[in-house]
A and B are shown apart, each in its own frame.
Chain A
Amino acid sequence: MKRTYLLIILSLASAVMSYTISGQKVVQVRDKYVLLTTPYNHRPLTLYRGQIQVSAGYKFAVRAQSFNSEGELIHLKDYGTGSVYHYYFGELRYGVTDFMEIGAVTNFLRRGIRDASVTIVNVTTTASERITVNKLTESKGLGDFFLYGALRMPLEYRWFDFSIKGGIFIPSARYEPQKPANTVRALSLASETTTTINLHYKNKNGYGVPVLLAAAAAKFTYDDFSVEAEWSMRDPVKEGQSIRWEETLTEKVFNYYDRSYTYLLSRTFTFDAALHYQATGWFNLSLNGSWFKTKGGWTEYWGNRYENPEKRLINLEPGFELQISPGLTVYQVAGFPVSGKDSDAPFYLYTTVCFNMFPLRK
């Protein structure tokens, strides 16, 4: 009888103990609000299953300097050839599973690059003529659609993650340049003639050929600090063909004709390494180092193929991520060029608004 009592007491005690112990465990709540508010240092590299993310971004860049082929910094504004660059971007991502996502990205850009103005003076004993030539090369338009898929390690994220990504830029953009809109203005005053020729070339956006992208990323977290690194490569699938506009000027009227040419885009490599600090659950600070390089490729001029110059650029990008509400996050990054070769070196401010949702999850 005593044994029976002892067994009952032990069973009850163990049941109570086990309940108490299991009650102390952190229960893994996976409702959508927990997932939506997961801070950066606890987040995997891809989206959660069923998560949809819609992002819209705007990059404003001031191209006041560039690096020449020797890697020296050139202050473009001193030559009056500085310009600004507006880049808009939209992205849609979907988490197919907790370890796989798909996405689509496109962009719109607008910029105008001015060349140094030249004035030709022709003075004779009876008359003088001044011809000023200004040249503006505008680039404007919707870019190619980039479709991709990404896979990450099939494990719950704790302190390490690794992902791979592959995608293709579909040549959906109207990449061929439009007919230039050059103008001539002439003013005659007695024996003095002043003529201003404004050359206005209108380039579009887009590669013109399919371009493949392969990327790999890794992320480590230690307490409130995380390090994320990503390497990517873009490679054109084939040679492309486009047109180049040329013009003749007769009696203040421009006649345009286009010539086709072939090209092979350069292979592009990028490497980003960022240190993140999770200041609070809703605020993350980061410092990213970005390296960019192009290699290979050629462009045809007058029937000859000329190798594309190799470009290189290193940027430092301090930034932050701010969670405004469970569904809404704002990212902002400022970019400062550090060194480079044959490349523009703009300062930029990049703001992205991200909207996250789980339409099918409670």
Chain B
Amino acid sequence: MKKTVIICLLSTLVAENYGQSEKLLVPSDLKQQTVVTEPVTLRKGYFRAGLLLDYRVADRFFNDSGEKEYYESSSFGSKAAYGITFQYGITDRFQIEVISEYLNKLQEKQNTEVDSYSNSSTVTVTKQKGLGLGDSHIALKYQLVPEVERTFSLLGRLKVTMPTGEKNPKNIKSENQFDLPVGDGTFAVSLNLSARKIVYPYSFSGYAGYTYNFRGTKVFDTGTQDEKQFRFGNLFETGLNANLHLNEWIVFGNEINFYSEGEGEIDDINLEPPPASLAFSYEPSLIFQVHRFRLGESVRIPLLGKNVPADPLFVLMAQYVF
């Protein structure tokens, strides 16, 4: 009897010890992974909703020669975009994503005109606002080299941009008084390839993508208000990303990004086409993972460029996995 009791006790102890050595991964744990440890696409059946806020003030720009310049005339411009994203894992390797945004654009100018003959002055105030739904995107992501059982992945992404935002200036009262457009007014398709390697607590990735812009029509001249055929230049983008776990739930992200956009076209010889532009920027970020909730903030700092804004872009992000 004693022997039986001892054997039972020993078996229980052994079972207990064994049970304590194994870490069970349950679905709720998988939903709490950070940007370093999570797979590059959502797992099958997982759904993630997110909010994005980005904000920029127009103060300086890179000119055609690549020099940083202040806007010289008295003007103040700002742009805030409130984005919403929905991501869903169709399979463990295939994800669909829907992105849209609400834009708040502001452009204010003032000029005092003094008539030297009559010695009278006229103050012209230009206040332009653009409020409303911007363009929307659908993105499909597929793991060409799956991350399962290894720490390397290759991802392909196809993104389609739909012109859901108002493309033309509205409420036109004069050449200077109107509501700014919040959409580009054209469809676009982009293909992107990215590779990632996890070396915990780090993850490294690189990407390259190309965007083709289709032709569209749009009002460029608020005087005539005629829609003109146009096409934005195609865009090539590449970048490198290095993320580091500062502790188990905070990630310090680093990204360098380069893009080059070709010269656009407008079917009107009186209008200047959108110039070719390029930018090289650095984006540090802090991303906090609190259970299924993710909060991040980052600043995109333009370092070099041509015909692009030179002001930092502030981004706040919140996501939740259901």
Least CB separation from B112: chain A residue:
A118
Please indicate the chain A residues that have their CB under 8 angstroms from the CB of B311 in the complex.
84
Cβ-defined contact, B112 with A117, below 8 A: yes
CB distance from A215 to the nearest CB of B (A): 31
* B interface residue count range (under 10 / 10 to 19 / 20 to 34 / 35 or more): 20 to 34
Report whether B76 and A324 are in contact in the complex, using a CB–CB cutoff of 8 Å. no
Contact A119 B112, beta carbon cutoff 8 Å? yes
Among B113-121, B191-199, B259-267, the one that faces the other chain is B113-121
Which residue in A114, A120, A200, A330 is a CB contact (below 8 Å) of B286?
A330
A168 at the interface (CB under 8 A from B): no
Question: How near does chain A come to B130, taking the closest CB pair, in angstroms?
Answer: 15
Report whether B112 and A112 are in contact in the complex, using a CB–CB cutoff of 8 Å.
Answer: no
A112 to B125, CA, bound (A): 21
A114 to B71, CA, bound (A): 8
Binding site of A, secondary structure by majority: helix, strand, loop or mixed? strand
Report Cα–Cα, A17/B109, bound state, in Å. 82
Find B110's partner among A78, A132, A200, A328 (CB 8 Å cutoff): A78
- Most chain-A CB neighbours within 10 Å: which of B71, B76, B246? B76
Interface residue B176 (Cβ < 8 Å from any Cβ of A): no
Distance in angstroms between the alpha carbons of A282 and B312 in the assembled complex: 29
- A55, CB-defined interface residue at 8 Å: no
- Report the Cα distance A116→B115, complex, angstroms: 17
Interface residues of A in 46-89 (CB under 8 A from B): 60, 62, 64, 76-84
Identify which of residues 99-149 in chain B touch chain A, using a CB-to-CB cut-off of 8 Å.
106, 108-117, 125, 127
Contacts A60-B314, A118-B111, A138-B70 given; indicate if A81 touches B76 (C-beta within 8 A): yes
Given A119-B114, A120-B114, A122-B116, A328–B70 Cβ distance below 8 Å? Answer: no
User: With A81-B76, A324-B247 given, is the CB distance from A118 to B60 under 8 Å?
Assistant: no
Q: Is the CB of A136 within 8 A of B113?
A: no
CB neighbours of B270 from chain A (8 A): none
Residues from chain B with a CB closer than 8 A to the CB of A114 are: 70-75
Q: Is the CB of A117 within 8 A of B110?
A: yes
Across the interface, name the chain B residue whose C-beta is closest to A58. Answer: B299
Least CB distance from B18 to A in Å reads 33
- Are the C-beta atoms of A84 and B57 separated by less than 8 Å? yes
Contacts of A325 in B (CB 8 A): 246-247
Given contacts A78-B110, A120-B116, 6 further A-B contacts (CB under 8 A): A80-B73, A80-B110, A114-B74, A119-B112, A134-B74, A198-B72
The 19 listed contacts between A and B (C-beta, < 8 Å) are A60-B314, A62-B78, A76-B76, A79-B74, A80-B111, A81-B110, A83-B76, A112-B59, A112-B60, A115-B74, A116-B111, A117-B74, A118-B113, A118-B114, A121-B113, A121-B115, A134-B74, A198-B72, A328-B246
Residues of A within 8 A of B (CB): 60, 62, 64, 76-84, 112, 114-123, 132, 134, 136, 138, 198, 200, 324-325, 328, 330, 349
